[in-house]
Structure 1
Amino acid sequence: MVEETMELRVERLVLEYAQAVPKRRPLEARLSLQNDLAIESLSLVSLALRLGDEFGVNVVDMGLELGAIKTFGDLLDMARTLKQQSTVGAGERT
């Protein structure tokens, strides 16, 4: 089995929440979560929590500013932060 890249994992989750699904793939970083993908604010919170679960990080404890996440690119940046945090956290537990 081929492991998904981080970008594909995030895109897969985003598409679960998107009310408007663009035909073009992969998703472009500039796409607005609210305007282009029709993801509502409560759904964004749920999506952020799912991303945290995906990377084994408690998003609430990290104090991430969800209001600053406007685009798919912003969400990718958040996922990179979560991935780094999960790597750091794993190193601290060993």
Structure 2
Amino acid sequence: MIRRRTTVIALAAVLLGTALTACDPGEKYTEPWRDAPRSGTDNSSALVFTMPDGFGNGATKCLAGTGVRVTTLYHQDGPYGSVSTVLDPACK
């Protein structure tokens, strides 16, 4: 009875571990065009910068007519990233 119970618990742990590692929510490149709805159009170019290996890459641009600069950073196909917005006098 104890052996069967141990086998069931071990099997459940293996199945749970497989389920948790099988779906990676960080695969942002496998789901293109999943952007949020747009309230306006600003298709101007962003300044894209690539850092040396081991550091994050990013892009920055001014939001048209707002005086706000938006910068996004990401690290390869990692599940994380960051967004920064600042008031920038150079953005007119």
Normalised TM-score (structure 1) = 0.20
Q: Which has the higher contact order (CA 8 A, sep 6+)?
A: 1
Larger Rg: 2
Name the structure where helix makes up a greater proportion of residues: 1
